């Protein structure tokens, strides 16, 4: 009798994440001998289940990526961006050797999978408690204050990148421009034939021109968790565009 192959962590504390998978899905995952590949396939399978029957793909252009990676979050909101509920992101040109990212936020866990230029798979899972602004390694704010190394292709980088993108898509006065393409086709993830609604994500022309006017940027663009309403009881995300401090009156390149 063949011994049942366990899912490692998936079979214990993460089991509730994968309750949506069918018996056939689990058998296919269990048949994979490599532990990393088994987790990667299980997480991807769950993401596809969340996306069915239609997938929304966001294709990021270089200028949009520059805004995402250059922005910080002044104070993390206490809710999960809708974008993270299930996402499929394709980069127009590979960024840090990353071609595509997909995943979902389920039971307080952010699942991130992806592909790199060299064919390497990305598979990460983070616990995030948005209400208390915490994740596996402490306060979420540490992703933006320099306490955590995020300038590489570690899981921390992916979490920060996706959080920032999700909030930029929801922010008022956002510099991002989303163009919807009605074409439908099948994405190359998990082999499923899903229809696709495509969104091209780039920056607004007015914002691009504004950026070119600056010779020196002292303050980077950032997302503000702004209080409003009666007794400041409500909050909304507002994007603050890059600007120069007023005391900077002489530009070096004007000499």
> Quick one: pLDDT at residue 152?
67
d(CA 3, CA 205): 60
Per-residue pLDDT of the chain (255 residues; tens, 9 = 90+): 344 444 444 444 456 677 778 888 878 887 888 888 888 888 888 888 888 777 888 999 999 998 999 898 888 889 999 999 999 999 999 998 999 999 999 888 999 999 999 888 999 889 999 999 998 888 888 888 877 776 666 788 999 999 999 999 999 999 999 998 755 554 455 555 566 778 899 988 887 766 665 455 567 788 999 988 888 888 999 998 877 654 433 333 333
Where in the chain are the domains?
Answer: 8-51, 54-204, 207-254
Contact 46, 21 (CB under 8 A): yes
Neighbours of 226 (CB within 10 A): 17
Write down the pTM of the prediction: 0.76
The structure tokens listed for 30 are 């269990």
Give every strand in the sheet of 72-73, ordered side by side.
Answer: 72-73, 222-228, 234-240
> Quick one: pLDDT at residue 247?
43
Contact 248, 229 (CB under 8 A): no
């Amino acid at each position: 009798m063949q011994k049942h192959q366990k899912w490692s962590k998936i079979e214990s504390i993460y089991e509730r994440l994968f309750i949506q998978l069918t018996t056939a899905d689990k058998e296919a995952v269990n048949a994979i001998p490599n532990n990393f590949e088994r987790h990667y396939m299980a997480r991807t399978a769950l993401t596809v289940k969340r996306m069915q029957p239609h997938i929304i793909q966001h294709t990021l252009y270089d200028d949009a990526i520059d805004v995402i990676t250059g922005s910080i979050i002044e104070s993390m909101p206490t809710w999960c961006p809708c974008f993270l509920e299930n996402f499929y992101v394709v980069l127009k040109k590979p960024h840090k050797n990353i071609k595509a990212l997909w995943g979902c936020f389920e039971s307080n866990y952010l699942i991130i999978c992806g592909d790199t230029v060299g064919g390497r798979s990305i598979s990460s899972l983070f616990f995030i408690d948005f209400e208390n602004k915490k994740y596996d390694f402490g306060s979420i704010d540490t992703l933006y204050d320099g306490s955590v190394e995020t300038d590489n292709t570690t899981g921390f980088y992916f979490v920060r990148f996706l959080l920032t993108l999700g909030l930029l898509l929801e922010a008022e006065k956002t510099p991002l421009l989303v163009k919807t393409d009605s074409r439908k086709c099948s994405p190359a993830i998990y082999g499923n034939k899903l229809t696709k609604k495509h969104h091209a994500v780039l920056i607004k022309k007015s914002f691009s021109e504004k950026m070119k006017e600056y010779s020196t940027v002292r303050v980077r663009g950032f997302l503000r968790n702004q209080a409003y309403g009666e007794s400041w009881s409500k909050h909304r995300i507002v994007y603050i565009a890059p600007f120069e401090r007023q005391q900077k009156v002489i530009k070096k390149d004007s000499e």
